[in-house]
Amino acid sequence: MADDSIAVVDLDRCQPDRCNYECANFCPPNRTGKDCIVTRGEHYGEDEPYDGGPDQVWISEEICLGESCGICVEKCPFDAIEIINLPSELEDEPVHRYGDNAFALYGLPVPEPGSVTGILGPNGIGKSTAVKMLSGELTPNLGRHDEEANWDAVLDRFRGTELQNYVEKVIEGEVTVARKPQYVDQIPKQFDGNTRELLEATDERGELDHLIERLNVAPVMDQDIDSISGGELQRVALAATLARDVDFYFLDEITPYLDIGQRMTAARLVRELAEDGERSMMVVEHDLAILDLLADTLHVTYGEPGAYGVVTDPKSVRNGINEYLKGYLDNENMRIRPNAITFEEHAPRESVTGRPLFEYPGLEKSYGEGEFSLTVEGGTVYESEVLGIVGPNGIGKSTMAKLFAGQLEPDAGELDFRMDIAYKPQYIDIDRPMRVDAFLASITDQFGSSYWDTEIARPLQLNRIMEQNLTDLSGGERQRVAIAACLSEDADLYLLDEPSAHLDVEQRVQATTAIRRYAENHDATVMVIDHDIYMVDLLADRLMVFDGEPAERGHASPPQEMREGMNDFLADLDVTFRRDERTGRPRINKPDSQLDREQKREGEYYYS
């Protein structure tokens, strides 16, 4: 074969007792008498490492004809097989392979003392494997999974590269590590106690009070961890990680559930700790504006989730993000996506084409004994438009949605309509003992139609997870199912709260396309609350801006054109964006830089 191909068999999916080895029966080399696809029992004989279940298949990468054949991939009814031609540019053997016909990782990111290393790429292509190796927990086997792995061989492989020093430290057991997990919602399942108890155990640098203040964690110090919100958990997890005194900090996404102001604070804290001296910070982040602000160097990752992953050599952050968006990696000579992701440099022309869906007057609503009050200025919402909603957390965005849905009565102002609203909340609660396909089929009778498949399932990459239980889904998978469930409802207005959380950049762009297309094809109105400014830019036709004092008072502007809305929103945050000269991509200006001052003077915060 094709010695640049790999065969990957997903053992959780392979069920030969239900398909009678369709793959092996049709494999061309098998039909000429070769042993290309055989059972694992046949392959391993007495050393069989398989766990005694139904005898699943093993594929010979030597004999297989490669991706251009792909007959077994087509024949397998359970999508268990992938045959992938690796990019010919990959010169080395993998750094690690989990076993025969299993996931392979090529390349490793390089932690740099005193700086922040960013990682940009899809979920599921090996970042946790890489971090386990960088922390010394897993010894890279250099692709020789049938031999015992040893660090001396790893050192030989990386001698003379930027990783040599780091590997030497790992071998000497000198690297200490702190990790912030990706899915902060899981923390309450692992920790039983209140915030104070969780944080006090981490105060190794004597900086905890400072972190608590900057991240505004004080209000939840005496609350049980299982009673605080996702945004609060994210800030607590950041404080807990950054309070430690270690050599290597790994932060797996710092932005989910945080508003833009909180994202910028988190980014600055990570930078400050790196600049403090000898510590290495490594951050996986899918909010590109924040990643741009945060990292000194960037590794782009690409591959096929679950099959193989490649970590590039480090790039400058600007080039790394530009190449990623362009879909083409210059040094690697590698196309990672057919189309570029582009941004409008100038505000879209003032255009609202749909008919008005509803008009609403000025509204007021207070909670409790004047604890929180919301003022909504009157406005008009149109059919077929996507309305972006921006502003801090805790400022009354979901209260407004409840007023529109008739679930709350306003104290002042009258609504003479009652919208059917399909709502995807910020914190997704779909944990029930049910498969994804059964759950979605219970929402729409369109489920399974080619129309539903094209509009919803494919852009949201649902087909591979249809047979999984809702309770087994990862954060990104739950998010995609929840977006699909919301868009599948029959409603007048669709309200999606933070659809970007836990989606990687590709998935954000695909979700954006699905949402936009849905609004256009159904004359539907979609309101999207999000804090990823790139996603809001790609998604929204107009903006509604919330401001005020979180948890005290909120104010909602009427829907505005993009330029006006961005200016209104960013002026409140005191942040300006310039445009990357080569690509037109928006980039956050350094505070008080010449451009920052000029743009503020001119009142142009975004479309300068």
Residues in contact with ligand SF4 by CB under 6 A are 27-29, 36-37, 59, 64-65, 69-72, 83
Q: Which of 221, 568, 223 is nearest to 388 (CA)?
A: 568
* Closer Cβ to ligand SF4, 99 or 406, answer by number: 99
Identify the DSSP state of 463: G
* Closer Cβ to ligand SF4, 75 or 555, answer by number: 75
CA atoms of 272 and 251, how far apart (whole Å): 14
**For the chain, how far is it from start to end, CA to CA, in angstroms?**
54
Amino acid symbol at 41: G
**Shortest separation between residue 78's beta carbon and ligand SF4, angstroms:** 15
- Reading the block at residue 270, the tokens are 């990570």
**Shortest separation between residue 511's beta carbon and ligand SF4, angstroms:** 32
Q: Helix or strand or coil: residue 123?
A: coil
The neighbour count for residue 593, using CB atoms within 10 Å, is: 12
* Closer Cβ to ligand SF4, 64 or 503, answer by number: 64
CA atoms of 23 and 37, how far apart (whole Å): 7
* Closer Cβ to ligand SF4, 71 or 325, answer by number: 71
- Residue 301's region, left for phi above 0, alpha for psi from -120 to 50, else beta, is beta
* Closer Cβ to ligand SF4, 28 or 362, answer by number: 28
Identify the DSSP state of 454: I
**Shortest separation between residue 105's beta carbon and ligand SF4, angstroms:** 22
Helix (H) or strand (E) holding 546: strand 542-549
β 525-529/542-549 pair status = unpaired
* Closer Cβ to ligand SF4, 29 or 413, answer by number: 29
**Shortest separation between residue 71's beta carbon and ligand SF4, angstroms:** 4
Contact 558, 582 (CB under 8 A): no
* Closer Cβ to ligand SF4, 71 or 240, answer by number: 71
* Closer Cβ to ligand SF4, 13 or 579, answer by number: 13
**Shortest separation between residue 18's beta carbon and ligand SF4, angstroms:** 19
Give the rounded distance of the alpha carbon of 354 from its chain centre: 32
Q: Which of 150, 122, 157 is nearest to 136 (CA)?
A: 150
CA atoms of 560 and 422, how far apart (whole Å): 23
* Strands, E assignment, 258-330: 280-284, 297-304, 308-311, 315-316, 328-329
**Shortest separation between residue 72's beta carbon and ligand SF4, angstroms:** 3
Contact 421, 492 (CB under 8 A): yes
* Closer Cβ to ligand SF4, 66 or 554, answer by number: 66
**Shortest separation between residue 280's beta carbon and ligand SF4, angstroms:** 42
Q: Which residues on neighbouring strands pair with residue 457, listed in sequence order? A: none
The neighbour count for residue 479, using CB atoms within 10 Å, is: 23
Dihedral over Cα of 568, 585, 325, 185: its sign: negative
**Shortest separation between residue 338's beta carbon and ligand SF4, angstroms:** 23
* Closer Cβ to ligand SF4, 9 or 336, answer by number: 9
**Shortest separation between residue 583's beta carbon and ligand SF4, angstroms:** 38
* Closer Cβ to ligand SF4, 35 or 197, answer by number: 35
Q: Which of 584, 607, 608, 573 is nearest to 594 (CA)?
A: 608
User: Radius of gyration (Cα) for the chain, nearest Å?
Assistant: 26
**Shortest separation between residue 9's beta carbon and ligand SF4, angstroms:** 10
**Shortest separation between residue 27's beta carbon and ligand SF4, angstroms:** 3
